[in-house]
Structure formats: C-alpha cells, structure tokens
Amino acid sequence: MLKTKYGLGLILVVLLLLPPNPAWAGLSELAHPGRTGAGLTWGHSYDPSPTFAFAQLTGVLQYDYDRVWFHRAPEPLYFKLEGSLGPASYQSNERLLASVNMLAQYYLAPADALLRPYMEAGIGLIYSDFQGEGQGLRLNFNPQAGLGCDYHIPAGTIYFGNLRLHHLSNGGLHRDNRGVNSLLLQIGRYF
C-alpha cells in the first residue's frame, strides 16, 4: 500500500513539473465544448449480489473528437466528458458517490435525424464514501460502455438517454480488488 502511494505521488510530481508541450495545444479546446448538458443518472449493482444503488446529478460536455485528440476521426465520432455527484445507498446507509469520466461516443444516424442512436465507451475515476467487502480503496477506476439515443425536438432542444454497463475496480493498485458491476440509466438534455 505504501509503495502504491509513493508511486502515484511520483507520477503526479513528474506531470506537474513537465514543461508545456506544443502537442498539448488541443487541450485548450476543452474550454469550448460543442454542447453542454445536464442529466440524472441512476444505477444499481448486480455483481456481487446487489451491493449498492445510486442517483446522481450529471454534467456533460461534448466535443468533436478530432478537435480534442490529435488525429483525424470519422465525422460521427465525439468525445464526451462527464462529472457526476450524488447519494449512494449502501447497507441501508446514505453515502456519497462522485465520478469523472471520459467517453468516445459514436453516432449511428446523421446529425439531422430526429432520433440519433449512439454507442459509447470510456473510463474514469470514481470515489465512493464506502468500501464494499473485498474493495481495497475508495478511489477506483470506472470503465463503462453502453448504448444511447439523442432525441431532437423540432424547436431545437435535444434530449438524451443511455443505458450502460458500469464497473468499479482499483485495477490491482491494492491487493483487495473485488470489482463491482452495475447497470446504469442516464437521461438529460443538452443546452
């Protein structure tokens, strides 16, 4: 455990001391998302047996993929950042659950379609104010993948909804690494 803390600290110090790199210029694009949105996220674990349920407020930033990353990308590929915060019910107690995620989002219909389905997958970090049996850390990795759809209302408003498989694991940074798998539902709208 002590080696892990020193290793993570060393990585952070190195990243902070690196000089700015011209290739990082695309990071300035993060200040200018193509769309912003907000939604509600609900989830419930299914493996191990129901462990916890959660409800979160979620903020969404969506970008054209090739404006952020340094290579050409197909037209329907987007990059999405999400931040979520809310309560989790764990062993009949209300606890805190917070996450930050990045996802690649690939649309399966043209931009002018009324219903615009998509596939998405990504990873992030998730903090739980609790530890389930066999979990060594409260800060974990959060890979997820799912399907969703945007619904364009003729007045210009866009609503979204998706269903994802959601995993919580410390990636082997601690000897106790019992992963938790959940099903997640998210609905919201872009502004």
pLDDT (tens digit per residue) in 125-162: 999 887 667 666 678 889 999 999 999 998 889 999 99
Asked if the model's pLDDT at residue 52 lies above 90, the reply is no
Rounded mean pLDDT, 44-55:
85
Lowest mean pLDDT among 44-53, 101-110, 112-121: 44-53
Q: What is the pTM of this model?
A: 0.80
Phi-psi domain of 134 (left: phi exceeds 0; alpha: psi -120 through 50; beta: other):
left
Kindly state the percentage of the chain with pLDDT values over 70: 77
Return contacts of 109-117, CB within 8 angstroms, 24+ apart: 113/152, 114/151, 114/152, 115/149, 115/150, 115/151, 115/152, 116/149, 116/150, 116/151, 116/152, 117/147, 117/148, 117/149
Ordered structural domains, the chain, with CATH: 33-190 (2.40.160.20)
Q: Up-side HSE of residue 105: CA atoms within 13 Å toward CB?
A: 26
User: Do you find a cis peptide bond into 48, omega within 30 degrees of 0?
Assistant: yes
Strand 35-47, strand 180-190: pairing: antiparallel
pLDDT of residue 41: 97
Per-residue pLDDT reduced to its tens digit, 171-189 = 666 677 677 889 999 999 9
